[in-house]
Structure 1
Amino acid sequence: MNSLKAFTDYLLLEKNYSALTVKAYTKDIESFSEFIKIEFDSENINQVVYVQIRNWIVALVEQGLSNRSINRKISALNTYYKFLLKIGALKTNPLAKHKALKTSKKVQVPFSKTEVNAVLDDFVFDQSFEGVRDKLIIELFYSTGIRRIELVNLKLSSVNFQNKTLKVLGKRNKERIVPLLDSTLKTLSEYLSYRKGLEQIVDEDILFLTKKGAKIYETLVYRIINDYFSKASSKVKKSPHILRHSFATHLLNQGADLNAVKELLGHSSLAATQVYTHNSISELKKVHIKAHPRSKK
């Protein structure tokens, strides 16, 4: 499928999409191609009509996929067809009039400051490579708001002790500089000392490693956050993203500028950052009622 190869090259080289995103897009398009081949005996997804895509959507619903997941798959397909229009390989987009399936807005409940402090201040981390590494991971998530994949891909060269900053490679390979707290730098120095003491190091340039010296992986990072916060929080979801959410919410609650938080999070638009403001609005209401001279009337 030459057009698919051209599409993936376009996403990687021109749009600067991450390899992970391109892989997901490719998987979705290949999945649709397989469906068309089986259901309609067609080898070419460039010549489909909307009814055929609609049948795929119905099949995905019957498989038990959520509307959110289905929308992501259709979005990948739509991006592909838009690319074909762009290069003149297609005259009309079969998804031009498609409307996304309705999804319920998930309210992400952040950890409270008490819960975060219970983990970072009250919990006794093992004085070992893994113990100090785990503490640093938690501190970095909460003090910088970086994404899980961004943390996994951090390199030793990402840290600048002199400037007290961290260079983060975000979505679409966009770099941003994030300030580091003195307390985080202290834990970072401690971790690097333990890191040097590992028997072997496979991935020399990577910051976070497993005890076997290999690059840390996303599921392990998730497990670390979930395990430690299970001891301090009764919330259903305990993940790196919730820590990122907590970082943004707590900054906004303390009066941080929305644009500044947007830059720290690596968002491309304010709309993405505004999802974190619902908690800060409730805090503002409390302040407003407590401080306004007419609130008692």
Structure 2
Amino acid sequence: MNVQMEEALEQFIRYVQLEKNFSLHTVREYQSDLENFFTFLQSEGIADIAEVDYIHARLYVTKLYDEQKARTSISRKISSIRSFFRFLNREQHIDDAPFRSLYHPKKEERLPSFFYEEELAQLFEKNQGDEPKQIRNIALLELLYATGMRVSECVGLELSDVDFHYSIIRVMGKGRKERIIPFGQFAHDALTRYLYVRSTLMKTNEHQKVFVNLRGGELTARGVRYILSEMIEHASMHTKIYPHMLRHTFATHLLNNGADMRTVQELLGHANLSSTQIYTHVTKEALRKTYMNSHPRA
């Protein structure tokens, strides 16, 4: 990467960190997307950002398709580069038209995976126990299902974020937006039980994160994925699990049981209702499957 590109990238990263207050994860994605784009520009013999035009933008997107990148990944990269050029246009009057003219690829129509209520009941039942590890795992599972939190929000929870009197939890979501989510009696009881044994797991560590690993450190997103996979295996369930699947399950079960779309949108922390509407397709598909499996003349 030449000096001009490096300086422009540093300025942009400072902008999204300090002025836009984006999360560390989002900042890293911006940096990675732009570094990949700069590598492409250098392979095309372009040393000056101001030389980039529409044909280079098209060539880059074509390259991403040739590499068989997912459409969601391509769409994110276009957004990252478009934001970068918009910033340069404002700061240095560099033309931002090349990527402004590009269309985002149409998203693949994939319905989110979720657990049926019977499957989730089995997962809870088979993982009960009196060991601190089992108590923590059940509390983690209960809270993810009770609130529909993202895994990043869950591992970021601190003890002061949980209000047991009102059974609500304060969550810091995307874009540093705070929201309040209620949780039910099952999650309340599981969390209360877990906090009694948390000190045992903490050992000599000192931090305020709710969930801890077996060494007493802060639980990571990777650790959550490992715990859930372990729980699935222990329940002898032949399915894959990932934290977002519990978020999908939370939304699907609420809609199946009569919750309105706006409420679910607010609980999930979606900026746009369109992001929540995909769950109406999931519930329709669930109804169809139940009908096909149950009706004598289906």
1:12 aligns with 2:17: yes
The corresponding residue for 1:90 is 94
| Residues 224, 31 of structure 1: alpha-carbon distance in 2 compared, 3 angstrom cutoff | same
Cα RMSD of the aligned pairs, angstroms, is 2.3
Q: Which runs of 5+ in 1 are unaligned?
A: 287-297
Indicate the percent of aligned positions where both proteins have the same amino acid. 33
Q: Which moved more, 1:180-189 or 1:257-266?
A: 180-189
Amino acid at match of 1:29: L
Q: Give 1:248-287 correspondences, 5 Å limit.
A: 248-281=251-284
1:174 aligns with 2:177: yes
Check the 8 A contact 2:111/2:278 in 1, yes or no: no
- Separation in structure 2 between the aligned mates of residue 210 and residue 190 of structure 1, nearest angstrom: 16
The corresponding residue for 1:139 is 142
Amino acid at match of 2:215: K
Q: Structure 1, residues 269-292: CA drift from partner, whole Å, max 9, x if none?
A: 211111111133457889xxxxxx
TM-score, with length taken from structure 1: 0.87
The corresponding residue for 2:61 is 57
2:209 is aligned, of 187, 192, 206, to 206
Amino acid at match of 2:110: K
Q: Which moved more, 1:92-101 or 1:146-155?
A: 92-101
Q: Structure 1, residues 42-99: CA drift from partner, whole Å, max 9, x if none?
A: 3333431222233333333333322332222122111111222233532342112212
- Separation in structure 2 between the aligned mates of residue 162 and residue 18 of structure 1, nearest angstrom: 30
Q: Structure 1, residues 121-155: CA drift from partner, whole Å, max 9, x if none?
A: x2143322221111111111111000011111111
| Residues 283, 213 of structure 1: alpha-carbon distance in 2 compared, 3 angstrom cutoff | closer
TM-score, with length taken from structure 2: 0.87
1:40 is aligned, of 39, 44, 60, to 44
- Separation in structure 2 between the aligned mates of residue 114 and residue 90 of structure 1, nearest angstrom: 57
Check the 8 A contact 2:82/2:96 in 1, yes or no: no
Q: Which moved more, 1:125-134 or 1:25-34?
A: 125-134
* 2:169 aligned counterpart, secondary structure: strand
* 2:100 aligned counterpart, secondary structure: coil
2:8 is aligned, of 3, 18, 33, to 3
| Residues 27, 46 of structure 1: alpha-carbon distance in 2 compared, 3 angstrom cutoff | farther
Q: Which moved more, 1:15-24 or 1:44-53?
A: 44-53
What stretches of structure 1 move > 6 A for 4+ residues in a row?
A: 283-286
- Deviation, 1:159, is 0.8
- Separation in structure 1 between the aligned mates of residue 24 and residue 49 of structure 2, nearest angstrom: 23
Q: Which moved more, 1:194-203 or 1:163-172?
A: 194-203
- Separation in structure 2 between the aligned mates of residue 224 and residue 130 of structure 1, nearest angstrom: 10
- Deviation, 1:115, is 0.5
- Deviation, 1:241, is 0.8
- Separation in structure 2 between the aligned mates of residue 35 and residue 285 of structure 1, nearest angstrom: 47
* 2:212 aligned counterpart, secondary structure: coil
